[in-house]
Amino acid sequence: MRNRTMKIVVAVSAFAVALAGPAAAAETGETAPQSALSEGSGTVEVIATPAPGAPGAQAVIRCVGGTDNPHKSHTDPRRANVHVNITCSANVARIAVRGAIYRDGALAGTSARNHVTTGRKSAANHANTACRNNHLYGSWVGGEITFPPNYVPPTGKISAFGRSARITNC
């Protein structure tokens, strides 16, 4: 009989967004909280607008941070993965993104470092941990966007708990 598995659990609740001034946090990086206190919608966004009268600036840029459901890996069956990303509506100067995976609310794994893209509209990262049956896995995405010159604010920071799922097919 086939193994009935993974009940998806998603809730729309607390998340955190901060708009930052000077570009600084990318190297230090957003740090994954040690525990997942809430489940998020899996998306969160920051918006930058052209400075009034600024030459060259075109349109509002919207950047969204998101996570997919934690899941058993099909490339390494001992692991549970989560994919995270930040995607913008237009190319931006820089995106740094990192992710984390939680097991029953406790931090279980983080991406080793920021993944940084320059001059692009997206960046993705991953986190994984040992896959253990019948635990609730959560996710977190963090990062910083540096918008093109003449956009306000010049940078935006994302720190959000994302989607969660119970994995039972490890």
Partner 1 sequence: MTAQPVPAATARASAWVVTAADRVFGGTVGDLVPVRFPAYARVFHPALRVGAPVRWSEVATAHGRAMHPLAQWAQLNPPSPGETSRPEQWGSDLRPITARLAVWDEEPVLGSMPAMVAAELVSVLTKHTRTPGRCWFAVWDGYGALSARWRAAPSFELFGRDMALLSGSIASAAFSLSDKPFEDLYANMWWPSDHSWCVATDVDMMTTYVGGSAEAVEALVRNDFLEVLPAAAEHSVTWDSDTVNHARP
Binding-site ranges for partner 1 (CB under 8 A): 2-6, 8, 42-43, 64, 66-69, 71-77, 79, 81, 83, 87-90, 111-112, 115, 117, 120-126, 128, 162-163, 165, 167-169
Q: Which is nearer to partner 1, 79 or 132 (CB)?
A: 79
What is the smallest separation between the CB atom of 113 and partner 1, expressed in angstroms? 8
Do 152 and 46 contact (CB within 8 A), yes or no?
no
What is the smallest separation between the CB atom of 21 and partner 1, expressed in angstroms? 26
Q: Which is nearer to partner 1, 94 or 115 (CB)?
A: 115
What is the smallest separation between the CB atom of 22 and partner 1, expressed in angstroms? 25
Helix (H) or strand (E) holding 26: helix 25-28
Across 74-149, the runs of DSSP E, i.e. the strands, are 79-88, 94-103, 106-110, 115-118, 122-130, 135-146
What is the smallest separation between the CB atom of 72 and partner 1, expressed in angstroms? 6
What is the smallest separation between the CB atom of 112 and partner 1, expressed in angstroms? 6
Do 129 and 109 contact (CB within 8 A), yes or no?
yes
Q: Which is nearer to partner 1, 66 or 154 (CB)?
A: 66
Q: Please provide residue 71's backbone torsions phi and psi, each rounded to the nearest 5 degrees.
A: -155, 160
Distance CA 13, CA 159 (A): 14
Q: Which is nearer to partner 1, 98 or 157 (CB)?
A: 98
Indicate the SS3 state at residue 44.
strand
Distance CA 106, CA 139 (A): 10
Q: Which is nearer to partner 1, 5 or 38 (CB)?
A: 5
